[in-house]
Amino acid sequence: MSSYPPQPPPSPPGPYAPGYSRAALRAQRQMLRAQARIEQQRQRALRRQLRDGQRRQQRALQRGSIVAPLLILALGVTILLSELGRIRWVVALRWYSRWWPLVMIGAGVILLLEWMADQRIFASGRLAASAPGGGVSGAAPSGQGRVLGGGLVFLLVLLALAGLGARLLWSPVEDALAWRNDGLADGSSELASLFGERYDADSSMANVLPQGTTLMIHNPRGDVTVSGSSSDGQVHVSVHTEAHAWDQVLVQRKMRALQPAFSMKNGVLSLNGNDVEGGEADLTVTLPHTAAVTIVADHGDVTVNETAGAVTISANHGDVDVSGVNNSVTLHLNDDDANLTLHSIHGPVVAEGHCGDIDISEVSGDLALQGDFFGSTDLEHIDGAIRFETSRTQFSAARLEDEFDVDNDSLDANELVGPVVVKAVDKNITLDRVQGSVTVSDRNGSVELTHTAPVDVLSIENHDGSVDVGLPGDSGFDLDARTRNGDMENDFGLSAQKTDSVSTLQGRVAGGGPAVTIATTDGDVTVRRSSVAPLPPVTPPQPITLQRGGGNPTPAQAAKKLPAPPAAPAGLPRDF
């Protein structure tokens, strides 16, 4: 029998299996930990990448508000109009100081409308997602709402601070408290009642006014009414005082302080009132008919009538009404909301400053108006040279037989005697029944002119507007009219020529005569035949005797106060 080799003896017993290494096990564990850390880092990086992508997508879908672009656009337009001379910075700043809360209200309304629009969009998106086949149930609608960014908030805060600063710049502390400029001076008892109960009293006083002496009246608070009806050589004053206080002692003190007082210095008799907190004094003054008077009213209306002395008025807050004056009238106005009324003035009139509506009629003398007038200006029957001058309109004529009206967008005049000169911007100009030479410069408005016989020199230059001229058919004149981007029409049988975009109309009518020159752009030119009656001859005025004493100017002295009328323009100034 065969035999097998003997088996090897068994290994001695030990704690580990043969071939096992403790170092290898440690290395394997370290490798597994390293792999786990790498996997965690990769997962973390992937989550961060997904989160950043979602944020970028959300920012891309977010929409900003339109308020900021609108505000910047409005600011840019305002600056552009100021640089072009269409508006003045002073007027714009004053307007913004009063109405800047409307900017905040408008921005809030726009933001509210945008929010409502976003809510409607989100609601429609949710309905579409929940409809069958409309997408995954519960999915959010696409798009994001508008975001109120920090830039818009900063801009609104800056505009609010600018409005408050402008308001403080234009209004003193008492104007902010409302009672000084708008309370007692305007007859409002509601704000005045803050100072206590209302008390009033009446008193009178008189003083001799020497011949040739000027009366000067200064009333800080209250109305002033003056008439030249005193026949005894004295100044008579009726005083109506009104005060508000909480006790009788303070009332008596205020009533005494409100009483005006006479004083004589350097040949001038002064009647001075006092500025009393919570009180005002209305003065009714009668003086000799020929005495000159100077009035300074800080807060109150001024009325002057039936006097033959020179009248000078400075009105800071209140209306001015002057009538029946047989001498010169000089006015200084400082209230945008105040009205000026002049009627039956037999002498030169000069008014300067700023006010609201102006109504002047029956003036037998030169009339000069210069300043900023924020209402309508109505003139009627001015038997003297007229000069009207504001930052946007200049007008002058030798005489006004009928009416002259000017407002924000139109200038109308009827029965004028030239030379007539008009410079305007953004106004439709209508001159009817004009006699004498005429020069008109306008921009962004129409020009309509009707001339009486005989035809005089006419020069009309317009930009961005039509021109319509009516001329008598039996008067000779030489016509030279041209327009760019417009048509030509005429009733005199002349043939128009057109080259590219320029149309011209030239020719001699009825043997020729004064030059009639018309030029415009972006508007039609019409030269029509008119048949208006000539203006009646001027009736020589009655001689006016002006008092030479008491500061009353002679006619030559009064004429020197009138600024010279503007020269006929060769074209539109650069500011227009």
Two structure tokens written together for 66? 């339109």
Single-letter code of the amino acid located at 393:
T
**Higher per-residue pLDDT: 477 or 244:** 477
Q: Quick one: which H or E segment has residue 258?
A: helix 248-258
pLDDT at 173: 38
pLDDT in tens, 352-405: 999 999 999 999 999 999 999 988 999 999 999 999 999 889 999 999 999 999
Position 389 scores a pLDDT of 94
pLDDT of residue 535: 77
79 found inside a domain: yes
Tens-place pLDDT, residues 163-211: 787 777 765 433 444 444 444 444 444 444 444 577 888 999 999 999 8
- For residue 377, being part of any structural domain is answered with no
Do both 43 and 101 map to the same domain?
A: no
Range of the structural domain that residue 43 is part of: 28-58
Q: What is the pLDDT of residue 171?
A: 59
Report long-range pairs for 503-511 (Cβ below 8 Å, ≥24 apart).
Answer: 504/480, 505/479, 505/480, 505/481, 506/479, 506/480, 506/481, 507/478, 507/479, 508/476, 508/477, 508/478, 508/479, 509/471, 509/476, 509/477, 509/478, 509/479, 510/473, 510/474, 510/475, 510/476, 510/477, 511/476
Same domain membership, residue 76 and residue 33: no
Whether residues 34 and 83 fall in one domain: no
- Residues 86, 156, single domain; the answer is yes
43 and 118 within one domain: no
> Does residue 357 lie in a domain region?
no
pTM over 0.75: no
109 in a domain, yes or no? yes
Helix (H) or strand (E) holding 551: none
Instruction: Indicate whether 37 and 117 sit together in one domain.
Output: no
Same structural domain, 34 and 121: no
Q: Which residues of 133-170 are buried (b: 16+ CB within 10 A; e: fewer)?
A: eeeeeeeeeeebebebeeebeebbeebeeebeebbeee
| Residue 61 pLDDT grade (very low, low, confident, very high; cuts 50, 70, 90) | low
Whether residue 489 has pLDDT greater than 80:
yes
What's the pLDDT score for residue 88? 62
68 and 163 together in one domain: yes
Nearest to 281 by CA among 321, 225, 320: 225
Say what the pLDDT of residue 19 is: 54
Residue of higher predicted confidence among 33 and 263: 263
Q: What pLDDT is attached to residue 46?
A: 84
Lowest pLDDT segment from 51-55, 62-66, 99-103, 272-276: 62-66
Distance CA 510, CA 166 (A): 62
Q: Is 73 contained in some domain?
A: yes
Residue predicted with more confidence, 558 or 453: 453
* pLDDT score of 87 more than 90: no
Mean pLDDT of 543-557: 42
Tally of domains within the chain: 2
Do 89 and 49 lie in one domain? The reply is: no
All residues at 6 or more sequence positions from 472 whose CB lies less than 8 Å from its CB, including other chains: 451, 452, 453, 454, 455, 529, 530, 531, 532
Contacts of 442 (CB under 8 A, 6+ apart): 422, 423, 424, 425, 427, 429, 461, 462, 463, 465
Q: State the average pLDDT over residues 507-522.
A: 91
Supply the pLDDT for residue 1. Answer: 46
Asked, for residue 133, whether it belongs to a domain, the answer is no
Mark out the alpha helices in 439-513 (DSSP H runs): none
Same domain (yes/no): 70, 159: yes
So what's the pLDDT on residue 27? Answer: 81
How many DSSP H helices and E strands does the chain contain? 10, 35
Q: What is the average per-residue pLDDT within 62-91? A: 74
11-20, 157-166, 312-321, 482-491: least confident range: 11-20
Residue 543 has pLDDT above 80, yes or no: no
Indicate whether 355 belongs to any domain: no
Do 150 and 54 fall into the same domain?
no
Least trusted range by pLDDT, from 33-42, 117-126, 365-374: 117-126
| Residue 96 domain flag | yes
Confidence at 58, pLDDT banded by 50, 70, 90: low
Out of 58, 80, 96, a domain closes at 58
Q: Would the pLDDT of 254 be above 50?
A: yes
3-state secondary structure 65-103: CCHHHHHHHHHHHHHHHHHCCCCCHHHHHHHHHHHCHHH
> For position 462, what pLDDT does the model report?
94
pLDDT at residue 2 is higher than 60? no
- Same domain? For 79 and 162 the reply is yes
For 146, phi and psi rounded to 5 degrees? -70, 150
- Mean pLDDT, the chain, as a whole number? 80
Q: What is the pLDDT of residue 400?
A: 93
